[in-house]
Structure 1
């Protein structure tokens, strides 16, 4: 059996969102984006030099997500960003991130919810789940 050769192709925002909607395990497509990465969701991480991978999705092809994480970091650097981060949820191995050379830099305990008096919000579907913060090399 011959190995499948992966390669990147440009896609329009609508196509990318349709793909995420079909293939991502637990999140819908992001509302906004900057060249396939977005501003950090957490306000304290949004320093103008940091961007966040808010979704990746693949059809299960081996090493596809590692390819996406590596390409995201190269693109972010080419656009002048100095830091690229992402989060995984408890139960996700982080193998794709480690394969792309990323580093686990923090763990976040489960939250009771995302609603606060100063920022009313509905649940995100990932309440009460521990999260892990990763950073590109």
Structure 2
């Protein structure tokens, strides 16, 4: 098994990889940053991270992994999710989200520390009254996953225990 390394990616190169390898999605429209994962032979996967697609989740502290795509290389996807979270944290973001479709296990997300937080019903696109959009070809149920960094936690640490306030310090106050 060869070693996998995270590498920087230009958006156009990430989009070309997605176009060539993704089984059902086109490249996303934009990004905040993109990453690649490579072995000795070259790039074997990419991740594109941007603002959350759902506008109500776009709070300025949240990013979304809008696309990952690999050529099937073992552990490449989980390596991309982990690197995306480290990069997002380094940029000051507190939450990173992503989605899986029904039938996808989420094993790569779990391996990177993400947890499922919502089950979402299928919808047929973004058309809303007063804002028509092109209908989607496919509608599937999804699971939203997230990983967070709370202000009272150090990066990747367990939550600090709450102080015990039942001792003499309470009586002295």
Give the whole-Å Cα distance in 1 for the aligned partners of 2:134 and 2:124. Answer: 12
Report how many aligned residue pairs link the two structures: 134
Residue 11 of structure 2: aligned partner: 13
Question: C-alpha root-mean-square deviation of aligned residues, in Å?
Answer: 1.3
**Superposition pairs of residues 74-113 of structure 1, within 5 angstroms:** 74-113=86-125
TM-score, normalised to structure 1, is: 0.92
Residue 100 of structure 2 contacts residue 106 of structure 2 at CA under 8 Å; is this kept in 1?
A: yes
Structure 1 alignment gaps of length 5 or more: none
Flag the structure with larger Rg: 2
Whose strand fraction is larger, Structure 1's or Structure 2's? Answer: 2
1:24 aligns with 2:35: no
Residue 147 of structure 2: aligned partner: 136
1:119 aligns with 2:131: yes
The alpha-carbon deviation at position 20 of structure 1 amounts to 0.9
The alpha-carbon deviation at position 99 of structure 1 amounts to 1.2
Residue 85 of structure 2 contacts residue 96 of structure 2 at CA under 8 Å; is this kept in 1?
A: yes
The alpha-carbon deviation at position 113 of structure 1 amounts to 3.8
The alpha-carbon deviation at position 27 of structure 1 amounts to 1.0
CA offset digits 1:44-103 (Å, max 9, x no partner): 000011000000001110010000000000000001111100111111111111111110
Residue 65 of structure 1: aligned partner: 77
3-state DSSP of counterpart to 1:73: helix
